[in-house]
C-alpha cells in the first residue's frame, strides 16, 4: 500500500497559443472531478501561465512551469525567475527535462541551481532524470542515474527536499510511442528510491514521489500505477488533449 499521494502531471512543451491553452484548461477542469484522489498539474508555456491560472482557480488542477532561471532577477534577457512563476500562480516547476538538457545545454550543475531557487520560493521541483537508448543498451542506466542524482541533489539536506518530485523519463521513451514496461519502470524507480535513501535517509526515501514519463497513455497508465514505486506520471503528448489527459488522471474510475 503506497502512502504517497500520486501526482499526474502534464507538460505542454511548446504547444498552444494563449487561447488554445485557456480552452484546453477549461475543458480539463470540467473533466476532472473535484474529489479526485490524485494531485494534478499542468505545465503550459510561460505565455499562458497567468490566463490558465485564472481558469484553474478553485479547481483541483495546479499550475506548473516547464523551466526557470536560478537568479531572482536581473539582466538575464529571456529568463524567468522562481518568484515570477509564483506570482503567475505556479505551484510546481519542471527542472532538467531531457529536451532542455539536449537542446539548451542544461547540465546537472544547472539543475542543482534551479532546484535551489525553486525550493527557496516554495515551488515544488519536478526533477527529470533518465538515460538515452544507447546508455540503456550499454547497461549504463544505473550509472547515469547515479550521476544525475548525485550532482543534481548535491549540497542539499533531506529537510530541503521534503517536497521533491523525481520524474524518471527514459529518453528513448519520450514522444516515441515506446513505453518502458511497468517492470522496467519499477526496477528503476526502486533503484532511485534506494539512492535517495542512501543519500538522505529513510524518511525522504519513503515520501519522495517518483513519477514515470515516456509515452504514457490512457491504455498503459493503470499497469504503471500498479507498480509499488511508481507514484504518478509526467505526460507529454497525451496531456495536450483534455479528454485524453483526463482519462489518464481518472485512471482509477
**Whose Cβ is closer to ligand PEP: residue 43's or residue 205's?**
43
Helices 18-31/49-56 angle, 10° precision? 20
* 3-state SS class at 168: strand
97 catalytically annotated: yes
**Whose Cβ is closer to ligand PEP: residue 153's or residue 216's?**
216
Chain residues binding ligand PEP by CB under 6 A are 11, 169, 174-175, 213-216, 234-238
d(CA 97, CA 236): 11
Q: What is the DSSP string of 103-149?
A: HS---HHHHHHHHHHHHHTTPEEEEEE---HHHHHTT-HHHHHHHHH
Classify residue 215 as left (phi > 0), alpha (psi -120 to 50) or beta. Answer: left
- Shortest Å distance, C-beta 68 to ligand PEP: 16
* 3-state SS class at 233: strand
23 catalytically annotated: no
Give the active site residue among 97, 99, 106, 135: 97
- Shortest Å distance, C-beta 121 to ligand PEP: 23
CA-wise closest residue to 82 among 94, 95, 71, 96: 71
Q: Which residue is nearest to ligand PEP (CB)?
A: 236
- Shortest Å distance, C-beta 155 to ligand PEP: 26
CA-wise closest residue to 15 among 53, 39, 48: 48
With 0-12 / 13-18 / 19 or more C-beta atoms within 10 angstroms meaning exposed / middle / buried, residue 228 is exposed
> Grid coordinates in use for 120?
527557496
Residues whose CB falls within 8 Å of the CB of residue 25, separated by 6 or more in sequence, listed in order: 42, 44, 52, 55, 56, 61, 242
**Whose Cβ is closer to ligand PEP: residue 152's or residue 213's?**
213
**Whose Cβ is closer to ligand PEP: residue 188's or residue 204's?**
188
Apex CA 112: angle with CA 65 and CA 214, to 5°?
Answer: 55
- Shortest Å distance, C-beta 232 to ligand PEP: 12
- Shortest Å distance, C-beta 239 to ligand PEP: 7
Give the active site residue among 106, 131, 169, 189: 169
Residues acting as catalytic residues: 97, 169
Amino acid at each position: 500500500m503506497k502512502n504517497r499521494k500520486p501526482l499526474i502531471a502534464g507538460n505542454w512543451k511548446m504547444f498552444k497559443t494563449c487561447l488554445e491553452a485557456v480552452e484546453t484548461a477549461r475543458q480539463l477542469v470540467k473533466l476532472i472531478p473535484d474529489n479526485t484522489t490524485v494531485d494534478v498539474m499542468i505545465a503550459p508555456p510561460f505565455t499562458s501561465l497567468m490566463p490558465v491560472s485564472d481558469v484553474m482557480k478553485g479547481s483541483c488542477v495546479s499550475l506548473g512551469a516547464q523551466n526557470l532561471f536560478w537568479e531572482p532577477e536581473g539582466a538575464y534577457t529571456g529568463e524567468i525567475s522562481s518568484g515570477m512563476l509564483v506570482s503567475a500562480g505556479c505551484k510546481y516547476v519542471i527542472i532538467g527535462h531531457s529536451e532542455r538538457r539536449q537542446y539548451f545545454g542544461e547540465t546537472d550543475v544547472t539543475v542543482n541551481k534551479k532546484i535551489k531557487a525553486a525550493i527557496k520560493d516554495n515551488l515544488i521541483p519536478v526533477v527529470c532524470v533518465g538515460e538515452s537508448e544507447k546508455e540503456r543498451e550499454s547497461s549504463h542506466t544505473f550509472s547515469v542515474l547515479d550521476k544525475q542524482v548525485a550532482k543534481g541533489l548535491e549540497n542539499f539536506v533531506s529537510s530541503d527536499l521534503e517536497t521533491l518530485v523525481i520524474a524518471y523519463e527514459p529518453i528513448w521513451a519520450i514522444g516515441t510511442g515506446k513505453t518502458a514496461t511497468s517492470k522496467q519502470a519499477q526496477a528503476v524507480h526502486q533503484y532511485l528510491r534506494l539512492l535517495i535513501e542512501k543519500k538522505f535517509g529513510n524518511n525522504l526515501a519513503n515520501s519522495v514521489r517518483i513519477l514515470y514519463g515516456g509515452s504514457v497513455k490512457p491504455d498503459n497508465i493503470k499497469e504503471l500505477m500498479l507498480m509499488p514505486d511508481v507514484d504518478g506520471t509526467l505526460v507529454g503528448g497525451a496531456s495536450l488533449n483534455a479528454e485524453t489527459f483526463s482519462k489518464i488522471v481518472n485512471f482509477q474510475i
